[in-house]
Structure 1
Amino acid sequence: MDDSSQPGSRRITGVDLARGVALIGMVATHVYPAFTDTGSDDPAVSPAFTLAAGRSAAAFAVLAGVALVLSTRRRAAAEARLSVFLRALGVGVIGLALAYADSGIAVILVYYALLFVLALPLLRASVPVLVTVAVLATTAVPAVSQAVRDDLPASDLSSPRFDDLAEPGHLLAKLTVSGVYPALAWLGYLCVGMAVAHADLRSRAVAVRLFAGGLLLAAVASGTSWLLLGPVGGSGRLGDPAVVSGVGSLPQGWFIDSGLYGTTPTDTAWWLAVDTPHSTTPFDLAHTTGTALALLGLALLIARVPLTRPIAALGAMTLTFYALHVVVMSTDVLPTDPTRSYVLQILVALAAATLWKATGRRGPAEAAVSVLPRAAHLLLHTQRPAVAAGRGTWPTGPRRTRQEGHHP
Structure 2
Amino acid sequence: METLRRGGATDQTAMTEPAVRSKRRLVGIDAARGLALIGLMAIHILPSWNTETGEATWSWRLFSGDSAALFALLAGVGLALGSGGRHPREGRALAGERVGVLVRALLITTVGLCINAAMPENPPAYNILFYYGVFFLLAIPFLHAKAPTLFVWAAGFGILAPLLMQGLLDVLPEWWYYNPTLSNVLSNPAGTASQLLLTGNYPALPYMTYLLVGMGLGRLDLRAVSTQIRLVFVGVSLWVAAQTISYVLLYGFEGYFKLQAASHLSEAKLDEILVWGAGSLPTTTGWWLTITTPHSNTPLTIAVSLGVSLAALGVFLLISRKIGAWLLPLSAMGSMTLTLYTAHLLVLALGLHEDAPYLWYAVHLLVAAGFAVVWQLTLGQGPLERVVAFAAKGTRRLVVGQAQSSSPVRMNDSKRLR
Using the size of structure 2 for normalisation, the TM-score is 0.85
2:272, 2:190 → 1: CA distance?
Answer: 32
Confirm whether residue 69 of structure 1 aligns to residue 80 of structure 2.
yes
Task: Return the offset for 1:259.
Answer: 3.6
1:216 aligns with: 237
1:33 aligns with: 47
**CA 1:377/1:139 → structure 2, altered by over 3 Å: closer, same or farther?**
closer
Confirm whether residue 255 of structure 1 aligns to residue 270 of structure 2.
no
1:161 aligns with: 181
1:392 aligns with: none
Deviations 1:52-79 (A, max 9, x none): 1111000000000000011221761101
Task: Return the offset for 1:335.
Answer: 7.2
Whether contact under 8 Å (1:310, 1:351) holds in the other structure is yes
Deviations 1:85-137 (A, max 9, x none): 10000000011111122342110111111111111110111222111111111
1:184 aligns with: 205
State the one-letter code of the partner of 2:3: D
Tell me which moved more, 331-340 or 135-144: 331-340
Confirm whether residue 225 of structure 1 aligns to residue 246 of structure 2.
yes
1:358, 1:239 → 2: CA distance?
Answer: 56
Equivalenced residue count is 376
Tell me which moved more, 103-112 or 347-356: 103-112
Task: Return the offset for 1:11.
Answer: 2.5
Task: Return the offset for 1:165.
Answer: 2.4
User: How is 1:1-150 mapped onto 2 (pairs within 5 angstroms)?
Assistant: 1-3=2-4, 5=9, 6=14, 8=16, 9=21, 10-37=24-51, 43-73=54-84, 76-100=93-117, 101-102=119-120, 103-150=123-170
Whether contact under 8 Å (2:262, 2:285) holds in the other structure is no
1:378, 1:133 → 2: CA distance?
Answer: 30
2:391 to 355, 368, 372: 372
Whether contact under 8 Å (1:272, 1:282) holds in the other structure is yes
2:306, 2:157 → 1: CA distance?
Answer: 12
2:44, 2:261 → 1: CA distance?
Answer: 27
State the one-letter code of the partner of 1:281: T
2:61, 2:161 → 1: CA distance?
Answer: 26
**CA 1:382/1:186 → structure 2, altered by over 3 Å: closer, same or farther?**
closer
State the one-letter code of the partner of 2:335: A
SS in 2 for 1:358: helix
**CA 1:360/1:156 → structure 2, altered by over 3 Å: closer, same or farther?**
same
Q: Which runs of 5+ in 2 are unaligned?
A: 405-418
Confirm whether residue 298 of structure 1 aligns to residue 276 of structure 2.
no
2:412 aligns with: none
- Higher RCO (CA-CA < 8 Å; seq separation 6+): 2
Task: Return the offset for 1:268.
Answer: 1.3
**CA 1:87/1:197 → structure 2, altered by over 3 Å: closer, same or farther?**
same
1:223, 1:382 → 2: CA distance?
Answer: 53
Deviations 1:259-294 (A, max 9, x none): 454x31111111110001000000000110010000
1:241, 1:334 → 2: CA distance?
Answer: 40
1:197, 1:184 → 2: CA distance?
Answer: 20
**CA 1:241/1:318 → structure 2, altered by over 3 Å: closer, same or farther?**
farther
Confirm whether residue 344 of structure 1 aligns to residue 370 of structure 2.
no
State the one-letter code of the partner of 2:272: W
Task: Return the offset for 1:198.
Answer: 1.2
**CA 1:346/1:260 → structure 2, altered by over 3 Å: closer, same or farther?**
farther
**CA 1:301/1:81 → structure 2, altered by over 3 Å: closer, same or farther?**
same
1:391 aligns with: none
Tell me which moved more, 335-344 or 280-289: 335-344
Task: Return the offset for 1:197.
Answer: 0.8
1:21, 1:268 → 2: CA distance?
Answer: 36
Task: Return the offset for 1:340.
Answer: 1.1
Structure exhibiting the larger radius of gyration computed from Cα positions: 1
Task: Return the offset for 1:186.
Answer: 0.7
Q: Which runs of 5+ in 1 are unaligned?
A: 245-249, 386-408
1:13, 1:325 → 2: CA distance?
Answer: 23
1:169, 1:251 → 2: CA distance?
Answer: 32
1:175, 1:243 → 2: CA distance?
Answer: 29
1:115, 1:335 → 2: CA distance?
Answer: 31
**CA 1:332/1:176 → structure 2, altered by over 3 Å: closer, same or farther?**
closer
RMSD: 2.2
User: How is 1:262-301 mapped onto 2 (pairs within 5 angstroms)?
Assistant: 263-301=280-318
2:261, 2:28 → 1: CA distance?
Answer: 43
Using the size of structure 1 for normalisation, the TM-score is 0.87
Whether contact under 8 Å (2:262, 2:284) holds in the other structure is no
1:328 aligns with: 347
Tell me which moved more, 360-369 or 374-383: 374-383
State the one-letter code of the partner of 2:356: D
State the one-letter code of the partner of 1:175: L
State the one-letter code of the partner of 2:344: H
**CA 1:378/1:270 → structure 2, altered by over 3 Å: closer, same or farther?**
same
Task: Return the offset for 1:333.
Answer: 4.3
State the one-letter code of the partner of 1:2: T
SS in 1 for 2:193: helix
1:371, 1:78 → 2: CA distance?
Answer: 17
